[in-house]
């Protein structure tokens, strides 16, 4: 009789240490990507001056990166389904380092826009493959915790990486922020090479087969729609956190970084808690998160004029949003059937759509009414996303998917 795989047994102290270092290496990649994704917002005036455009035009660089993420996920996942996963992770982060270096040396706006688009391409594929590797290394009971730990790098980036990179860009120059991001990506390459065990791809799968399996599955579309719509509620509010704090809450401009810190701290706590909730039920965690987000955004509307009372609500909103991020990732991995690479990665494409949708609708509310109205837009999007999840649950009961909703 064939011996049971080592991963199925209780891990020894050594294997537990190796597992921790492997997941840490993967999380450093999340830290690098999270820092790079959000730092452009912090150094936008410096970037605009550096390439000679208005700040509103420089803001399109953020959209270029997000577009790269949306395009990169299905394209790269289609091409790399059979590749060994450790080598793939190294290749993705090496590419990420290269395109951030290209951003740092860009000689004009158009070159920088192309570089930011290219830098976005590996984003979702990295998180997808890293989540698969972490889940495969973990005990099945702790799969959610392992994926949450990888995503924790993205959360910590908002507390440590983004403020540090913003300071660097403001005091040394905006090019230094992208050079530092490239350095973090290269550090990830070294850590993954040193600590992540060789993980083969699936020789029996193909990009075309994964795409057919994935995109013909109604549960996949419903889960991605729930993320693209429901998570847009958070972006409708967070995109306009500065006018909410200053114009509605009546606080000084200097207090805005404290609310950004509250958001980052909430992401860290929420990401950890998401892993614990996933052990109980991924799908029910999503329902609780969707409903909780709607309630938190309504509370935001009520409390917005009351100064510092808005700070804890910002923390809670962020924590709930992180529960949604992690469990949407796990849900897609569950319902994807054999298309695991696409399932693990497409969550990030959906969330970048949420970024665009939420910020756009929130901007309309800001122009038509006030910054406070963005919270009502956000709550409406959250309720809509919750309804999509409920639809997904009803459909699952009628036509079970290849992997059960937990």
CATH number of 1-204: 1.20.1250.20
Which carries the bigger pLDDT value, residue 370 or residue 178? 178
Least confident residue range of 113-122, 283-292, 366-375, 392-401? 392-401
The CA-based angle 168-170-173, given to 5 degrees, is 75
Answer whether 226's CB lies under 8 Å from 328's CB: yes
pLDDT tens-digit series, residues 212-265: 767 777 888 888 888 889 888 888 887 777 788 888 888 887 777 788 788 888
Phi/psi of residue 138, each to 5°?
-85, 160
Q: What is the pTM of this model?
A: 0.73
If you write DSSP's letter for every residue of 42-100 in order, what string do you get? HTHHHHHHHHT--HHHHTHHHHHHHHHHHHHHHHHHHHHTTS-HHHHHHHHHHHHHHHH
Segment 148-167, tens digit of pLDDT: 778 788 778 878 888 888 78
Q: How many CB atoms lie within 10 A of CB 91?
A: 19
Domain 205-406 adopts which CATH fold? Growth Hormone; Chain: A; (1.20.1250)
Asked whether the predicted pLDDT for residue 25 surpasses 80, the reply is yes
Q: Where along the chain do the CATH 1.20.1250.20 domains lie?
A: 1-204, 205-406
């Amino acid at each position: 009789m064939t011996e049971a795989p080592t991963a199925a047994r209780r891990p020894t102290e050594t294997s537990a240490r190796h597992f921790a270092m492997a997941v840490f290496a993967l999380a450093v990649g999340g830290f690098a990507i999270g820092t790079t994704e959000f730092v452009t917002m912090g150094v936008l005036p410096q970037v605009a001056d550096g390439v000679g455009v208005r700040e509103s035009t420089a803001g399109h660089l953020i959209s270029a990166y997000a577009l790269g993420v949306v395009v990169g996920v299905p394209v790269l996942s289609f091409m790399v389904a059979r590749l060994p996963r450790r080598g793939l992770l190294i290749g993705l982060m090496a590419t990420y380092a290269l395109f951030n270096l290209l951003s740092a040396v860009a000689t004009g706006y158009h070159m920088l826009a192309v570089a930011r688009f290219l830098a976005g391409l590996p984003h979702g594929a990295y998180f997808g493959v890293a989540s698969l590797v972490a889940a495969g290394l973990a005990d099945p009971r702790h799969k959610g915790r392992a994926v949450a730990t990888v995503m924790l790098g993205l959360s910590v980036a908002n507390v440590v990486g983004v403020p540090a990179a913003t300071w660097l860009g403001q005091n040394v120059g905006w090019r230094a922020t992208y050079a530092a991001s490239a350095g973090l990506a290269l550090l990830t390459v070294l850590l993954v090479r040193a600590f992540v065990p060789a993980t083969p791809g699936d020789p029996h799968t193909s990009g075309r087969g994964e795409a057919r399996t994935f995109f013909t599955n109604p549960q996949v579309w419903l889960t991605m729609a729930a993320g693209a719509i429901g998570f847009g509620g958070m972006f409708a509010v967070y995109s306009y956190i500065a006018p909410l704090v200053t114009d509605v809450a009546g606080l000084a401009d200097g207090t805005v970084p404290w609310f950004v810190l509250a958001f980052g701290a909430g992401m860290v706590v929420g990401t950890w808690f998401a892993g614990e909730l996933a052990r109980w039920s991924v799908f029910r965690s999503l329902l609780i998160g969707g409903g909780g987000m709607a309630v938190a955004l309504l509370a935001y509307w009520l409390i917005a004029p009351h100064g510092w009372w808005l700070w804890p609500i910002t923390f809670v909103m962020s924590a709930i949003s992180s529960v949604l991020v992690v469990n949407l990732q796990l849900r897609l991995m569950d319902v994807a059937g054999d298309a695991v690479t696409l399932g693990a990665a497409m969550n990030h494409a959906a969330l970048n759509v949420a970024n665009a949708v939420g910020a756009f609708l929130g901007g309309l509310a800001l122009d038509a009414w006030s910054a406070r109205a963005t919270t009502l837009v956000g709550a409406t999007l959250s309720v809509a996303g919750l309804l999509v999840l409920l639809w997904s649950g009803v459909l699952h009961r009628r036509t079970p998917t290849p992997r059960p909703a937990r």
